């Protein structure tokens, strides 16, 4: 490759790296804004203003508001899921879930975003409707599978239906966290730990 070609390739790689860095910065900032204010009432231009960037830059990196929101949600899940799965592997469901919720308490914005999306996403025409529906289904399946593991290990109280208990636990987690957003004196971890003790064999 000629020197000119090498220089062109270097410039292209640097531009790509800068573009990815800028995209990541926008996603991080958008996560914080969406967590506090939702997304439905914002236009792309208003989102750009909230993020401290330009409308042109936002359009360049993401194209549409829906694409930006999807990138934010995917990035958040990509960051959180590996850690969450590791905790559950090491501690099991009964001790792992309180640990996950304890960490959530240090990230109010993330909990706020989840609660906002859960409420806004009910509308079939909302851009996150399908994402939230799939996430709720996956949440239920993941919890049920963890309960089945606990049952197979002899640690789940006899006579409990993992599918029913999974629905109860998902509702308890989401409900308690919503209450905590209104009143931080609500002891989410304490209430969940008490429920986990009820489930133990």
pLDDT at 7 over 70: no
Check residues 37 and 84 and name the one with the higher pLDDT. Answer: 84
How high is the pLDDT of residue 19?
A: 63
pLDDT at 11 over 50: no
Name, in order, each residue with C-beta under 8 angstroms of 112's C-beta and a sequence gap of 6 or more: 35, 36, 181
pTM, full prediction: 0.76
Burial class (CB in 10 A: 0-12, 13-18, 19+), 156: buried
Q: What is the mean pLDDT of residues 97-113?
A: 88
> What pLDDT score was predicted for residue 106?
87
Confidence at residue 59, expressed as pLDDT on a 0 to 100 scale = 86
Rounded to 5 degrees, what angle do the CA atoms 29, 101, 176 make?
100
Q: Tell me: pLDDT of 155 over 80.
A: yes
State the DSSP H helix or E strand holding residue 61, giving kind and residue range, or none if neither: helix 55-62
Q: Considering only residues 78 and 143, tell me which one the structure prediction assigns the higher pLDDT.
A: 143
C-alpha angle 127/130/135, rounded to 5°?
A: 120
Q: Which residues contact 101 (CB under 8 A, 6 or more apart)?
A: 173, 177, 188, 189, 192
Domains belonging to the chain, first-starting first, are 3-199 (1.10.357.10)
Give the pLDDT score at 53: 84
| Burial class of 110 by CB neighbour count within 10 A (0 to 12, 13 to 18, 19+) | middle
Each residue's pLDDT tens digit, 158-201: 999 999 999 999 999 999 999 999 999 999 999 999 999 999 99
pLDDT at residue 141 above 60?
yes
CA separation for the pair 151, 162 (Å, rounded)? 8
- Name the nearest CA neighbour of 26 among 4, 47, 43: 47
């Amino acid at each position: 490759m000629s020197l000119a070609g090498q220089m062109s390739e270097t410039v292209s790689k640097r531009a790509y790296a800068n573009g990815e860095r800028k995209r990541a910065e926008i996603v991080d900032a958008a996560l914080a804004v969406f967590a506090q204010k939702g997304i439905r009432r914002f236009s792309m231009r208003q989102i750009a203003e909230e993020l401290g960037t330009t409308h042109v830059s936002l359009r360049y990196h993401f194209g549409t508001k829906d694409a930006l929101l999807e990138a934010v949600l995917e990035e958040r899940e990509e960051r959180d899921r590996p850690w969450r799965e590791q905790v559950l592997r090491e501690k099991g469901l009964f001790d792992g879930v309180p640990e996950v919720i304890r960490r959530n308490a240090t990230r109010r914005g993330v909990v706020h975003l989840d609660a906002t999306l859960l409420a806004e996403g009910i509308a079939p025409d909302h851009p996150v409707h399908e994402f939230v529906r799939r996430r709720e289904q996956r949440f239920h399946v993941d919890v049920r599978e963890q309960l089945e593991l606990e049952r197979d290990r002899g640690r789940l109280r006899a006579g409990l239906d993992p599918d029913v208990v999974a629905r109860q636990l998902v509702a308890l987690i989401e409900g308690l966290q919503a209450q905590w957003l209104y009143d931080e004196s609500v002891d989410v971890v304490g209430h969940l730990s008490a429920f986990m003790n009820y489930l133990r064999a």
